Chains A and B, each alone.
Chain A
Amino acid sequence: MTEETIVKSTEGKLAAKDYATDQDVRWCPGCGDYSILKQVQSVFAELQLDRDETVFISGIGCSSRFPYYMNTYGMHSIHGRAPAFASGLRSINPDLNVWVITGDGDSMSIGGNHFIHMLRRNFNMNVLLFNNQIYGLTKGQYSPTSEQGKVTKSSPIGSLDHPFNPLALALGADSTFIARSMDRDPKHMRALLLRAEQHHGTSLVEIYQNCNIFNDGAFFTFTEKETKGDTVLYIEQGKPLVFGANNDKGIKLDGFKPVIVDLKDNSANDLWIHDETDRVKASILTRFFDDPAKEGALPRPFGVFYVEQRDNYEDALIAQLNKSIEIKGSGNLDALLRGNNTWEIK
């Protein structure tokens, strides 16, 4: 690169604010969605992603308003169906950078079916699941990720539903990239978004998001200084599973059973070393889903749980068309109209 071109590219460089639209952001003040929007815009600036080559597709919910605030192409579709729109779009134009934005109600309830099918097909796109464990837009009913016994407007004496564990569900659906982050740790979220963007396949990032109006503090045990030390386990490739306010605790595998050990008595070398490519371990890790208030609860992991390289649907689709053209030749309309069996009336 010559000096001149470097100057030019810095000059024409897009800042995070260039990815924002002129529309007023309408989330409640203090909503965790703001932080996610900010990190996405900052990642876009860091990677200098092309606004005209990017599409955000969402369902319905507070979180699904997201596309209106990104200065890219965007579609605010219908409740739960964003994965299906994105799948059709990727099938037609695999050059586009497609992001699906969804909420816990949008993806786990009405759109549960599309969610699992999207994952198994493995289209190359990023999916951000804004999990606030509540229906925000409809003003505070319990959601499929709300804890059992949740008291809300629609469950005044407690909800009866056993909650979904979205990442375990995703692994069950053969997702090829599974990660978790939180609105109140922007640095962590940013790193994960960068990883997600690099993965070739459907990258699922669940983000714990505070709804300060209808479910305030749902994740405070994981996000606030006083408690997070003992409840949060940051997982990193190749690193032992260490946590605790003073990094004094670790996780060991006893057969398939994870156990918490004190690092005073154990060397870090004996701990579970995180391996993102290990499906069996990932399935144990996604099951670290204890109620943090419970005695001896396993800490909640944050980071990339699992990564797998598998063919994308859209690549396979195009390869199949090309193969068919190779074998049969490019379709001839006149021959098609004529068919194989004709007769002539003279």
Chain B
Amino acid sequence: MTAVKEIKEVVTILFAGDSGDGIQLTGGQFTDTAALMGNDISTFPNFPAEIRAPIGTVAGVSGFQINFGSVEIFTPGDQCDVLVVMNAAALKVNLKNLKKGGVIIANISGFDKRNLRLAKMDEEYTIQDDKKLEGYKIHEVDVSKVTRETLKDSGMGTKSVERSKNMFVLGFLYWMYDRSLESTITFIESKFKGKQDLIDTNIQVLKAGYNYGETCEAFPTQVEVKPADIEKGVYRNIIGNEAAAIGLIAAAKKSGLELFYGTYPITPASDILHTLSKHKNFGVKTYQAEDEIAAICSAMGASYGGALGITASSGPGIALKGEAIGLAVSLELPLVIINVQRGGPSTGLPTKTEQSDLLQVMYGRNGEAPVPIIAAQSPTDCFDAAYEACRIAIEHVTPVFFLSDGYIANGSEPWKVLKGEDLPSITATFAPERKEEDAPFLPYSRNEKLARPWAIPGTKGLAHRIGGIEKENLTGNISYDPDNHELMTKLRQAKVDKIADFIPEQQLDNGNEGDKLLVLSWGSTYGVVKTAVKELREEGKSLAHAHVRYMNPLPKNLGALLSKFDKVLMPEMNNGQFVKIIRDKFLVPAIPYNKVQGLPFFTHELKDKITEVLNAK
């Protein structure tokens, strides 16, 4: 039977189940296919904190949300249109994330007594009798059973059969959204290369899912989401952490420096290490140190030796690095420190997202120790921001913070493929050799950027000593002189402030000066703020949006720009951090709007808040 086709602009699907159900893989495949079909997309995986959280329990539920459309997409979407649940716990956890009247696709083999017990639900529970589900469109499939039947002649063991059941669900959704199976078939062929039986069975189950959609009468309509009107060109899909890793490699290549990455594993930063360690043929040296302190110190040792030294962690590890960052400020060596933020304090919410380390990276050191900060705004911007952090570190000879967070680090979106030659140049300058008869070498002299010479060991005639004790201006010799200390403190600050001359001015992302309200955002809230402002402007509201990437130093014109608006609203996934800096620097009565749930803002929440602020006197 040929189903009727319904056309939609945007669809949000949430896949949810046990970590072992292959949720992330299913979501990833659906994403790749949507991208290949020309949709704009944004995704958000939501992992449980424990790798092998008890099967079937609420704590073990893993999720993957994809928002795709024929229009521009900036967020993974608020509530979803379709909720796919592989077991009872997944439904229990995620029903609130489904739009009223939305579609539920439930694997009923995940609703047996055992699963209900594990989810701490009534053992007599059935979906049909659940009053809370009234008004939703529910489709139940016994995925385990149909997968078993599909593979009954394959000779596969029960375990392998169970494992391929996500392919059935994927196939079914491909039918629902009129997608091609091709990309996933290619994926299966390469993933199971050399294991023909697994290739055959997975493809068989995928097709069975698709055919099931076609033959079962439950869904009379297929939904079509047309390609989006995206700028022409070649695209790939990219996850934020992977983009950051590639940005670092690109910066090393363009600057001609060796890349040294000293780190200690921590969620959600580890994937940068995983990606980099796959690219050793770029001359990338990854070093898994014994702890975060050794990680940053090894990276500084590498920078001292003339490499692009990089270290990465999340809040807890950044706390450990604090003393060494102070030394980097004092030594004035290039260094990139990556903080992929997660919920805090302490271990906090390791797999969830938050923007609560801004004040930590801005001020969290002893003494006066200013460090430039760049914050990425989206998964693809992780590339640009990481690249820019390297540029500033190398050209201004300074440690630089690159801030990301779990949301954009794990989220993905399409990325227009770049060429190396399109990237801005990065110039690394080492202090030149010096002959005996030349003037003495002054390791703490400065150039027009106020950067000191990067004098690497092994350079003839430049032997000199550096350290964490206050240095005499120019010579770098130890100095306890009070005036010298004040001078050096001011010089280190001036050097960071000077960077403002080498970064772009702050632009409005949307709206105009003189609009009633400016929404000022930073970091990973970009997409959702952009969407909310765009939708409200389409409703005729007077508001603008500016998004800050350069957190320290701030763009030179930011203060003047802020003064053009009556009201400034600052949404942040923390208890109000950037707002403190803005109020402090510019004395504007910016209004904080905060969410500290380990989760990103929803567009509707933000629109409500903005509307409230606009309507207030």
Give complex CA distance A146, B175 in Å.
Answer: 74
Known: A84-B294, A339-B238. A76 touches B232 (CB 8 A): no
Give complex CA distance A95, B235 in Å.
Answer: 43
Q: Give which listed residue, B287, B303, B456, B459, contacts A87 with CB less than 8 A.
A: B287
Contact check, B297 vs A344: say whether CB atoms are below 8 A apart. no
Residue of A nearest to B290 (CB): A117
Contact check, B323 vs A78: say whether CB atoms are below 8 A apart. yes
Bitwise interface map of B from 354 to 367 toward A, beta carbon under 8 Å scored 1, else 0? 00000000000000
Q: List 30 A-B contacts (CB under 8 A).
A: A52-B462, A67-B467, A72-B463, A77-B467, A84-B293, A84-B294, A84-B297, A84-B298, A85-B297, A88-B298, A88-B302, A90-B301, A91-B298, A92-B301, A96-B305, A321-B284, A325-B280, A331-B282, A333-B253, A333-B282, A337-B246, A337-B418, A338-B236, A338-B417, A339-B238, A339-B417, A341-B183, A341-B236, A345-B38, A345-B234
Bitwise interface map of A from 71 to 93 toward B, beta carbon under 8 Å scored 1, else 0? 11111111001011111111111
Contact check, B458 vs A81: say whether CB atoms are below 8 A apart. no
Which residues from A are CB-within-8-Å of B458?
A: 52-53, 73, 93, 95-96
Contact check, A85 vs B420: say whether CB atoms are below 8 A apart. no
Q: Residues of A with Cβ closer than 8 Å to B?
A: 21, 23, 51-55, 57, 60, 67-68, 70-78, 81, 83-93, 95-96, 113-114, 117, 317, 320-321, 324-325, 327-331, 333-334, 336-339, 341-346
Interface size for B (C-beta < 8 A) is: 72
Shortest beta-carbon contacts, A-B, top 9: A88-B301, A76-B467, A331-B282, A88-B298, A84-B297, A85-B301, A92-B305, A84-B294, A324-B280
Q: Give which listed residue, B32, B35, B463, B478, contacts A73 with CB less than 8 A.
A: B463
Contact check, A91 vs B324: say whether CB atoms are below 8 A apart. no
Give complex CA distance A334, B234 in Å.
Answer: 13
Q: Give which listed residue, B234, B295, B468, contacts A338 with CB less than 8 A.
A: B234
Contact check, B327 vs A328: say whether CB atoms are below 8 A apart. no
Q: Residues of B with Cβ closer than 8 Å to A?
A: 32, 35-36, 38, 183, 227, 230-238, 246, 249-250, 253, 258, 260, 262, 279-285, 287, 289-291, 293-295, 297-307, 309, 323-324, 327, 331, 417-420, 456-469, 477-478
Contact check, B307 vs A87: say whether CB atoms are below 8 A apart. no
Known: A113-B290, A345-B38. A23 touches B477 (CB 8 A): yes
Give complex CA distance A346, B232 in Å.
Answer: 5
Residue of B nearest to A94 (CB): B305
Which residues from B are CB-within-8-Å of A341?
A: 32, 183, 236-237
Which residues from A are CB-within-8-Å of B305?
A: 88-89, 92-93, 96
Contact check, A345 vs B230: say whether CB atoms are below 8 A apart. yes
Known: A23-B478, A342-B417. A91 touches B287 (CB 8 A): yes
Contact check, A92 vs B258: say whether CB atoms are below 8 A apart. yes
Please give 12 more A-B residue pairs, beta carbons under 8 A apart, in addition to A87-B294, A113-B291, A342-B236.
A23-B478, A78-B468, A85-B301, A89-B305, A93-B456, A114-B297, A317-B285, A321-B284, A331-B249, A339-B417, A341-B237, A345-B227
Give complex CA distance A320, B283 in Å.
Answer: 10
Contact check, B280 vs A321: say whether CB atoms are below 8 A apart. yes
Chain A nearest Cβ from B283, distance in angstroms = 6
Which residues from B are CB-within-8-Å of A81?
A: 293-294, 297, 324
